[in-house]
A and B are shown apart, each in its own frame.
Chain A
Amino acid sequence: MTPPRRTEVRNAFVAALAGLATTGARVFASRTRPLEAAELPAILVFSGEASPGASLLGGRIVTNRYRLRADILVRDGINSENIADKVLEEMQAALFATPAAMTLGGQVKTLQWVGSGDPELDDSTEKPAIRVPVLYEVVYT
């Protein structure tokens, strides 16, 4: 059975981010269980809002807009924000290096970087962590 298009798009997005130099295979989609501190740095991918992109006369939707949020998580330390910057740079390189990458291997019509949020620090544990949320928007049919 073919998975829903959103699932295919999300999986392609996760696959594009897997294997980066800094985060390696530590890219997780829709994860609900906590990571261990030893698993950082990592990228957590979550679904964002979705909306119709364009529709034909008669109301049939032909494109969809879908936001994907990729949280960069890094353990706090002297270079933590620098590491987060490096991960972000690697993400951008992986997603926008080639025309094929910009369509997530043909899964989407367009991929756009919406922006990244303020770095957040959480010192609730003995190994504080930094999170940088990064938003992307794709259009797919």
Chain B
Amino acid sequence: MPTPFAALQAQLNSAVIEHLSTATADFGAAGTVDGIFRKEYAESFGMVAGSVPVFESASSAFPVLSRGQGVSILGVSYLVAEIRPDGTGMTTLILEAA
């Protein structure tokens, strides 16, 4: 059964990663993944300044992931705190300081 929208979605995801990637996530022996890295300002309790690093790429590009797994992005070490697949072929990793 033809699924033209699924094909279009996969094509779009590939184009996003190809053109909008900002960093490479290095999972060590598990390999590297290109994707979009953001580190926006955020606060705890409205009283402690910090940031929320997130890395997004195609779900199929990631190695087998687990919470607490180490990853290096732009020379900084992080731990995978949350794995959030969006259900359309992309996955966002919420990272915390290693």
B is a partner of A: yes
Q: Assess whether B96 is in contact with A124, with CB atoms less than 8 Å apart.
A: no
Q: Does B25 contact A (CB under 8 A)?
A: no
Using a CB–CB cutoff of 8 Å, the interface residues on chain A facing chain B are 31, 34-37, 40, 44, 71, 73, 120, 122-129, 131
Q: Assess whether B48 is in contact with A37, with CB atoms less than 8 Å apart.
A: yes
Contacts of A44 in B (CB 8 A): 47
Contacts of A125 in B (CB 8 A): 42-44, 48-52
Contacts of B2 in A (CB 8 A): none
Using a CB–CB cutoff of 8 Å, the interface residues on chain B facing chain A are 42-53, 78, 81, 95-97
Give complex CA distance A136, B22 in Å: 50
Q: Assess whether A124 is in contact with B44, with CB atoms less than 8 Å apart.
A: yes
Q: Assess whether A34 is in contact with B48, with CB atoms less than 8 Å apart.
A: yes
Contacts of A36 in B (CB 8 A): 48-49
Partner of B52 from the list A35, A71, A120, A126 (CB cut-off 8 Å) is A126
Contacts of A120 in B (CB 8 A): 45
Contacts of A71 in B (CB 8 A): 47
Task: Closest B residue to A75 by CB, please name it.
Answer: B48
Give complex CA distance A105, B45 in Å: 32
Q: Assess whether B49 is in contact with A126, with CB atoms less than 8 Å apart.
A: no
Task: Closest B residue to A77 by CB, please name it.
Answer: B97
Closest CB in chain B relative to A38 CB, distance in Å: 10
- Can you identify 28 A-B contacts, CB atoms within 8 angstroms? A31-B47, A34-B47, A34-B48, A35-B47, A35-B48, A36-B48, A36-B49, A37-B48, A37-B49, A37-B50, A73-B47, A73-B48, A120-B45, A123-B81, A124-B42, A124-B52, A125-B43, A125-B50, A125-B51, A126-B52, A126-B95, A126-B96, A127-B50, A127-B96, A127-B97, A129-B44, A129-B45, A129-B48
Q: Assess whether B95 is in contact with A122, with CB atoms less than 8 Å apart.
A: no
Closest CB in chain A relative to B76 CB, distance in Å: 10
Contacts of B42 in A (CB 8 A): 124-125
Give complex CA distance A131, B48 in Å: 11
